[in-house]
Structure 1
Amino acid sequence: MNKINIRKFIDREITPEEALALTKINGLQLIELFAVANEIRKKYCGNKVHTCTISNAKSGRCEEDCKFCAQSVHYNTNVLSYDLKTKEVLSEEYINAEKLGSSKFGIITSGRSIKKGSKDYSDIKKFLEDTKSKGKNIDLCCSLGLLNKDELLELKESGMTRFHCNLQTSVGAYEDIVATTHKIKDRIETIKAAKEVGLEVCSGGIIGMGESWEDRIEMAYTLKELGVDGIPINILNPISGTPHGERKHLSMDEILKTIAIYRIIFKDKVIKIGAGRESILKDFTGMAFLSGANGMLVGGYLTTKGRDSQEDFNLIDSIKKLWE
């Protein structure tokens, strides 16, 4: 293929067709792609590493049949299951995240949704109100499934500043990962409702589930159209017992190429590396931050233990030195 002028995308928007053409880059021009993505990150986002600490606030027994998820009741994964953590436990975790220096603290619950009128909804609302009344120093984010506009507005007024709802993959490929229990339009409607009430939205997906490059580009432009504020890129870490349990890991160049192309598409947004950072990227984590990433989860994930939090912040110091 003819060599692509990648640098032209530093100062102008890239079309879906042009983004798809970048997926065919290989060899030495990959290094140029990573360098341009890093230059865009620096120009539009600066040298801040955005961090988020999450609480797996309610685990397991999820009625949805997402094929990648260890928490689905449809699969035998032996994941730890428990009811919603108490307000006291969540408050302690919030304080620990604050001490660590995280930018955000996220409450993540399993299940289709935490609906208004339930005890779980009331308890989360009370936690948000109490934390807000004390003068929160880090933003409060929630991932509570498929909510409506009234619920999102009420939670915003209680103290939630950002709502998380991943698309996971493209509209076209969604039925390949969630066969029966809900549709991607349910997620899109939740994201639209969150934006309508003035919440920031964090939404991305998982790469490595058998999707095509076309699917990854389609997902990116759907997210762009929805106006999301942060884009987490998770790398599938196959979990035994799920339908994706035997999949092979993506190659490093494919992961880094995805991050770089997303940075070119989302010039001024936070692109956050989530699941798979320690287990799959490993020694290539630094390269992810030289290829356009500028955010990461610290202190562990949902059903997978992360690195020690202090090690994560030591890594952040190293990233900042790489950026200098």
Structure 2
Amino acid sequence: MNFDIRKYIDKEITKKEAFNLCNLKGNDLLYLFAAADEVRNKYCGNVLEICTITNAKSGKCSENCKFCAQSVFYNTGVKSYPLKDKETLKKEFYEAYKNGSTRFGIVTSGKSFEYGTYDFNVIIDFIKEIMSEKPEAEICCSLGLLGEKEMSALKKAGASRYHCNIQTSSEKYSVFAASTHSFEDRINTVKNAQKSGLQVCCGGIIGMGETWEDRINMAFALKELNPQGIPINILNPIKGTPLENRNFLSPEEVLKTIAIFRLILKDKNIKIAAGRESVFKDFMGSGFLSGANGMLTGGYLTVKGRNIEDDLKFIKNIENLWNNI
């Protein structure tokens, strides 16, 4: 190893320095993972944040996101249904809460919602009812590309965080993500949420064919946006989408990505989201010894996740390990 990775535990890393880390191999990777884990411990502590999402409205999306089973542009056989009613959402919320989730995310297909429409009002009423019952878990929303008026209504109702991924680098957004809306549309959505006082969860997807430069550029774009949560999704190629023939990334490449993101985004909640089961299998714990400190449980919209009981045992084991290292 030609340089000391541990210096980045306290030092801000430049884009050039981060890119140099992408070339690490062999034993040098172990030093990278250890440094990332130390950064996680120093800036975030030893608590693993658990989130659960519900696919509250599925399919028939007008956008052509190339990784997504719910786009009307692709024939994926995904089940389509309208917005779930409040009672169904409440049942799912309390099930997630019982299983230890501190955040419950309402995710809907489609480009956006407009203030005052029936579906938007259902979501607002659901949030108000849940928050009036004062649960310890919080509600997050992922409802597409919303404006300030809609964001303010969500905040006023009691939502705490808005989720909108930038997916990849700005240079490759139309190549790997979508062309029916722009990278700037997503940036503006994040800023609209922040203006309203909502926290933000914003990350992306790796494994779409992007380069290391794209990943580093995405990480620094996220650093500039300053979200509280950063989900790292690993592409799960879905038949019928333009990315159906992509191969899964190797565990080594995913771990390297997580570790470098941690060195760039020191105090953020970095969550391993979709794809973790397929890539890591029995070695999932390695992601949480390489910089990650959050995860999604209970599934990923159209893709089933791991058994919740197995996840809960896993989470307990990881936190015990963190606290005894």
Q: Shared fold by TM > 0.5?
A: yes
Which residue of structure 2 aligns with residue 193 of structure 1? 192
Question: What CA distance in whole angstroms lies between the structure 2 residues aligned with 1:114 and 1:163?
Answer: 14
Question: What CA distance in whole angstroms lies between the structure 2 residues aligned with 1:217 and 1:230?
Answer: 17
Which residue of structure 1 aligns with residue 132 of structure 2? 133
Which residue of structure 1 aligns with residue 102 of structure 2? 103
Which residue of structure 1 aligns with residue 143 of structure 2? 144
**1:164-221 deviation line (CA, Å, top 9, x unaligned):** 0000001001010244310010000010111112111000000000001010010111
Task: Name the SS for the 1:246 alignment partner.
Answer: coil
Which residue of structure 2 aligns with residue 55 of structure 1? 54
The amino acid that maps onto 1:3 is N
Range with greater deviation from structure 2 (176-185 or 138-147): 176-185
The answer (yes or no) to whether the contact 2:54–2:106 under 8 Å persists in 1 is yes
Aligned 1:172-321 pairs, distance under 5 A? 172-321=171-320
Point out where structure 2 has 5 or more consecutive residues left out of the alignment. none
Range with greater deviation from structure 2 (223-232 or 112-121): 112-121
Aligned 1:29-178 pairs, distance under 5 A? 29-178=28-177
The answer (yes or no) to whether the contact 2:262–2:292 under 8 Å persists in 1 is yes
Range with greater deviation from structure 2 (277-286 or 265-274): 277-286
Question: What CA distance in whole angstroms lies between the structure 2 residues aligned with 1:60 and 1:129?
Answer: 26
Range with greater deviation from structure 2 (288-297 or 191-200): 191-200
Task: Name the SS for the 2:205 alignment partner.
Answer: strand
Task: Name the SS for the 1:306 alignment partner.
Answer: coil
Task: Name the SS for the 1:142 alignment partner.
Answer: strand
The amino acid that maps onto 2:160 is T
Question: What CA distance in whole angstroms lies between the structure 1 residues aligned with 2:238 and 2:188?
Answer: 29
Question: What CA distance in whole angstroms lies between the structure 2 residues aligned with 1:164 and 1:239?
Answer: 22
**1:74-128 deviation line (CA, Å, top 9, x unaligned):** 0010001100000000000111111111110000000001221221101000001
The amino acid that maps onto 2:289 is L
Question: What CA distance in whole angstroms lies between the structure 2 residues aligned with 1:220 and 1:256?
Answer: 15
Question: What CA distance in whole angstroms lies between the structure 2 residues aligned with 1:193 and 1:139?
Answer: 20
Task: Name the SS for the 2:87 alignment partner.
Answer: helix
The answer (yes or no) to whether the contact 1:237–1:280 under 8 Å persists in 2 is no
> Would the alpha carbon gap of residues 245 and 5 (structure 1) be closer, same or farther in structure 2, given more than 3 Å must change?
same
Provide TM-score, normalisation by structure 1.
0.98
Provide TM-score, normalisation by structure 2.
0.98
Point out where structure 1 has 5 or more consecutive residues left out of the alignment. none
**1:239-277 deviation line (CA, Å, top 9, x unaligned):** 011000011111111100000000111111100000001
Task: Name the SS for the 2:171 alignment partner.
Answer: coil
The amino acid that maps onto 2:234 is I
The answer (yes or no) to whether the contact 2:167–2:177 under 8 Å persists in 1 is no
The answer (yes or no) to whether the contact 1:38–1:292 under 8 Å persists in 2 is yes
Question: What CA distance in whole angstroms lies between the structure 1 residues aligned with 2:280 and 2:67?
Answer: 19
Question: What CA distance in whole angstroms lies between the structure 2 residues aligned with 1:240 and 1:318?
Answer: 35
Count of aligned pairs between the two proteins: 323
Task: Name the SS for the 1:42 alignment partner.
Answer: helix
Question: What CA distance in whole angstroms lies between the structure 2 residues aligned with 1:238 and 1:4?
Answer: 37
The answer (yes or no) to whether the contact 2:56–2:106 under 8 Å persists in 1 is yes
Question: What CA distance in whole angstroms lies between the structure 2 residues aligned with 1:310 and 1:214?
Answer: 38
The answer (yes or no) to whether the contact 2:107–2:142 under 8 Å persists in 1 is yes
Segments of 4+ moved more than 4 angstroms? none
